[in-house]
Chain A
Amino acid sequence: GQQLNQSPQSMFIQEGEDVSMNCTSSSIFNTWLWYKQEPGEGPVLLIALYKAGELTSNGRLTAQFGITRKDSFLNISASIPSDVGIYFCAGLGSGGSNYKLTFGKGTLLTVNP
């Protein structure tokens, strides 16, 4: 089946630093989604990417849909303590599996004030 490799697995940074994480796959995806999950809560959608090469921003967050459709990255600029959480990438496949999201294993972000 389709798999996503998300890295890094965890990050420990100082407040104000920029953060970058990415997901890669050997499979092609039609949509890339980035979610943030805080303890005890469900994932919250941050950014959705629908076209290869698309670069989208949401406040301090920027994400790109790789031109090969096999990768995506998420950048967070000027991190703040409330950025703490687990960030998941997710890809929506093509053909008969286009309803099913494939999730990365998550990046645990810790921000030191």
Chain B
Amino acid sequence: EADIYQTPRYLVIGTGKKITLECSQTMGHDKMYWYQQDPGMELHLIHYSYGVNSTEKGDLSSESTVSRIRTEHFPLTLESARPSHTSQYLCASSDNGGWTDTQYFGPGTRLTVL
């Protein structure tokens, strides 16, 4: 059973607001990831982190930013939300098995920007 948590689960906000999506894991995993997923569609990697103070952009360009100050915490921030940011955001972490890394996902945050 994976112990990875995301809050809030659902968020409806107005255009221009700053938001932070929280992700935390209690498994001591070094690697963490953020994916964006539209309904019924494939997952797109937008950010990842190898460990504390390490963050990289993923394959899909995103206006969001991330930080990794603590191993267990990997928040994602949107400085000024727009309707185009409406999507499901999934956080994941992986164990430290080198080439056998297996990613475990949180429950997701469904973001709607009006």
A binding-site residues for B, Cβ under 8 Å: 1, 30-31, 33, 35, 40-45, 48, 50, 86, 88, 90, 92, 94, 98-101, 103-106, 108
Q: Are B43 and A31 in contact (CB under 8 A)?
A: no
| Cα–Cα distance between A94 and B105 once the two chains are bound (Å) | 22
The answer to whether residues A50 and B59 also contact, given A43-B90, A86-B40, A106-B42 and a CB cut-off of 8 A, is no
The answer to whether residues A99 and B94 also contact, given A41-B107, A41-B108, A88-B43 and a CB cut-off of 8 A, is yes
Q: What are 13 of the A-B contact pairs (CB < 8 Å)?
A: A41-B107, A42-B90, A44-B105, A45-B2, A92-B100, A94-B99, A98-B99, A99-B50, A100-B58, A101-B103, A105-B42, A106-B40, A108-B40
The distance from the CB of A110 to the nearest CB of chain B, in whole angstroms, is 12
> Within 8 Å of chain A (Cβ to Cβ): is B12?
no
- B23-46 vs A: 1/0 string, CB under 8 Å? 000000001000000001111010
The answer to whether residues A30 and B100 also contact, given A100-B45, A105-B41 and a CB cut-off of 8 A, is yes
* Count class of interface residues, chain B: 20 to 34
> Within 8 Å of chain A (Cβ to Cβ): is B48?
yes
Q: Are A99 and B105 in contact (CB under 8 A)?
A: no
The answer to whether residues A31 and B102 also contact, given A1-B59, A41-B107, A99-B94 and a CB cut-off of 8 A, is yes
| Cα–Cα distance between A9 and B90 once the two chains are bound (Å) | 22
The distance from the CB of A59 to the nearest CB of chain B, in whole angstroms, is 16
| Cα–Cα distance between A101 and B108 once the two chains are bound (Å) | 17
The distance from the CB of B53 to the nearest CB of chain A, in whole angstroms, is 17
B binding-site residues for A, Cβ under 8 Å: 2, 6, 31, 40-43, 45, 48, 50, 58-59, 90-92, 94, 98-108, 110
The distance from the CB of B27 to the nearest CB of chain A, in whole angstroms, is 13
Q: Are B40 and A92 in contact (CB under 8 A)?
A: no
Q: Are A103 and B102 in contact (CB under 8 A)?
A: no
Within the complex, which residue of B101, B107, B108 is in contact with A98, where a contact is CB–CB below 8 Å? B101
Inside 8 A of A90's CB, which chain B residues have their CB? Answer: 103
Q: Are B103 and A50 in contact (CB under 8 A)?
A: no
